[in-house]
Structure 1
Amino acid sequence: MLDTPDTLDTSDGPQQRPQSLMLAFFGNHVLEEGELCVYSGSIIDVLGRVGVGEQAVRSTLTRMVNRGLLRRQREGRRMYFGLTPQATRVLQDGRTRIWKQGAVNDDWDGAWTLLGFSLPDSWKRQRHDLRSRLTWSGFGALYSGLWIAPGNVDAAGIVSELGLTAHVKIFHARADEATDIELMIRDTWDLESIAARYVTFDKRWTAHQGAAAGDDPIGTLLRLVSEWLWTIRTDPRLPARHLPPAWPARPAQETFRRVAAHTAAPAQRMARELLETAPSR
């Protein structure tokens, strides 16, 4: 999404950055509730359930306000936090990716989006931001300054948000018969790494799905969604017919949706009891 999670693989799965967990929390419990702000103490409680300490939560809230992702609202002595329009767009994009597009691309029409860019050497941050957004949107580096994604991607919107329109060229095209699409895919994307993420996710959550919600459904749902977003963030949704047999995205997605269906309702009930909120003003 907007931010690239720095993660560390451990035997217990990916360790998410607090900002990624914070966005998942707001996506789970605020995005669909309208104009709503959440008390900081409630946020500290929920993120503490997945191992994020109070100081880390407070510093993350401050950084996200400074980045324009959250807004503060004081109610008496208490501070509440709500989504900004920028964060709302990020979360809606993630929701579309999870629930509408899915992880498996069975209906690819043969189209590709090509994006070429040339940025000054000193623009390291802009280059990092562009590559991060392109990766989330399904692009891979065909060559150093030429990126490609399956389907017709609204790359112009990405480039415009980053203020890089003057430095980017975008094309929509189809591959010539002389192009070996499966070879191009293997050369452009790290399929083994993408597949490994799905396999890891599937194994972890298949083992837990019998009692997924447990005594802490709100924490379980937060871990589930943040880990799924970490799993899919480098997957460009490549055409299924050009991927290796038994591609693991499909069973992993089925596991994710089963656990989500089992956990979402108790998590929402718990959120209504636990979270202290106030209408945005």
Structure 2
Amino acid sequence: MGSDDGHAERAEREGGGSTGAPGPEPDGGPSPRLRPQALMLTYLGNYVLGRDIAVFSGSFIETFARLGVGEHAVRSTLTRMVRRGLLARHRDGRRMHFGLTARSAAILHDGEERVWRRGVLNADWDGTWTVLAFSMPESWQRARHDLRARLTWAGFGSLGNGTWIAPSRRDVGAIVGELGLEGRLKVFSGPAEEPTDVPAMLREAFDLDALADGYRAFLGRWDRPDPLPDAPDDLARYLWMTTEWLQLVRDDPRLPVEHLPDDWPAVRGQQVLLELRDRYEAGARRLADAAIESIPVPPPAAPDTADAG
């Protein structure tokens, strides 16, 4: 499947472009604004990752037309992704093809892990929290931004005054590795002790209402017998659905299930996602493969671990 500006701004948030695809608009609610780069990453993760191919630009244009993304927006997105190291150009005669880079492959593998393997529920939490505190001069604005982005990407929430928490033990060194903040960070791990009000702490550090609203909006669009009846085909539905879900889970810190409301909408959301994957996946792949013109290319070099996030 299928985020430097910091890990939390990778992929779509790294500047997915100002032109938003219209996206689905079922009766269940208004469409999410799915930018072309977010949809592009979903497409690449599903139909290019692991195949060692570069795809003809016309194939992207043909496929994305069914999503309401015009040729100009597709070409602009491809160019922007090349500039950010997310795609590599490969010329074959007069035709331009685009393939993955080590960086985009790492981002796509991360998305695949989050969506299809790890899931949204932290049901085996051992009671451990990771607590990080940092202190740096106000003039270090770029370093502050990068650190906060990486911590958010890794599932940390802010308690204010430079203190961040995450459920479970986290390898902070791998998260902040090359930022050069040695001596500026303090990291601890262990259980919360009395009289800590854990539910209150979670609401302070994480915007649970916004997370829940996102999952409810997803359910409003997809938890129905015939989602998006006016969509052109199953490929469009599959790309819209998985892109929206990936954006939700990238913002979800996977909080311990015992500290979430009993009716937490991510539970039903994940069930709907898996049910609709079974319905759409095979047909979507047939359509995607039929539209792909490609050339073989060498696999991307092994990604830099620190950049993989």
TM over 0.5: yes
> 2:114·2:250 contact (CA, 8 Å) conserved in 1?
no
Residue pair 1:213, 1:220 contacting (<8 A) in 2 also: no
1:61 matched residue in structure 2: 78
Describe the shift of the 1:151–1:213 C-alpha distance in structure 2 as closer, same or farther (beyond 3 A): farther
**Contact kept? 1:135, 1:233, Cα under 8 Å:** no
Q: Within 5 A, what are the aligned runs for 1:70-89?
A: 70-89=87-106
Seen in structure 2, the aligned counterparts of structure 1 residues 215 and 4 have a Cα distance that, compared at 3 Å, is closer
The alignment partner of 1:24 has SS state of: helix
1:14 lines up with 2:38 in the alignment: no
TM score, norm. by length of structure 1: 0.90
Deviations 1:86-135 (A, max 9, x none): 11111111111111110111111111122333455455454334333322
CA distance in structure 2 between the aligned counterparts of 1:30 and 1:65, rounded to whole angstroms: 16
> RMSD over aligned Cα, in angstroms?
2.5
Q: Secondary structure at the match of 2:50?
A: helix
Maintained 8 Å contact 1:212/1:262: no
Query: Which residue identity does 2:95 align to in structure 1?
Result: R
- 2:241 partner amino acid: L
CA distance in structure 1 between the partners assigned to 2:35 and 2:140 by the alignment: 25
- Could you list the per-position Cα deviations for residues 226-273 of structure 1 after superposition, in whole angstroms to 9, with x for gaps in the alignment? 100122222111001011221111001100111112111111111221
Show structure 2 runs of 5+ residues with no match.
Answer: 4-9, 299-309
Aligned to 1:219: 236
More displaced stretch, 130-139 vs 264-273: 130-139
Check conservation: 1:213, 1:221, Cα contact below 8 A: no
Change (3 A) 1:21 1:205: same
- Distance between the aligned counterparts of 2:87 and 2:124, measured in 1? 36
1:124-147 per-residue CA deviation (whole Å, 9 max, x = no partner) reads 454334333322321111224221
Greater share of helix residues, 1 or 2? Answer: 1
Contact 1:3 1:132 in 2 (8 A): no
Matched, 1:29 2:47: yes
Question: Structure 1 residues 58, 151: CA separation in 2 closer, same or farther (over 3 Å shift)?
Answer: same
Change in Cα spacing, 1:208 to 1:124, as seen in structure 2 (3 Å) is: farther
In structure 2, relative to structure 1, the CA distance for the partners of 1:13 and 1:154 (3 Å cut) is: farther
CA drift at 1:276: 0.8
Q: 2:120 aligns with which of 100, 103, 117?
A: 103
Equivalent residue number for residue 158 of structure 2? 141
Report deviation, 1:37. Answer: 0.9
In the alignment, structure 1 residue 160 sits paired with structure 2 residue 177: yes
Q: Per-residue deviation at 1:13?
A: 2.5
Unaligned runs of 5+ in 1: none
Matches of 1:271 and 1:175, distance apart in 2 = 49
TM-score, structure 2 length as denominator? 0.82
Question: How far apart are the structure 2 equivalents of 1:125 and 1:208?
Answer: 48
**DSSP-derived class of the 1:47 partner:** helix
Question: Is contact 1:217-1:267 (8 Å) kept?
Answer: yes
Residues 138-159 of structure 1 deviation map (CA, whole Å, 9 limit, x = unaligned): 1111224221111122332221
Q: In the alignment, which of 182, 207, 226 is matched to residue 224 of structure 2?
A: 207
| Aligned residue pair count | 279
Q: Which residue of 2 aligns with 1:248?
A: 265
> Match for 2:281 among 264, 276, 280?
264
- Conserved 8 A contact 2:39-2:239: yes
Taking the aligned partners of 1:269 and 1:19, their CA distance within structure 2 comes to: 22
SS in 2 for 1:80: strand
Amino acid at match of 1:229: L
Percent sequence identity over aligned pairs: 45
- 2:218 partner amino acid: F
Residue type at the aligned position of 1:14:
P
Query: How many Å separate the matches in 1 of 2:64 and 2:185?
Result: 39
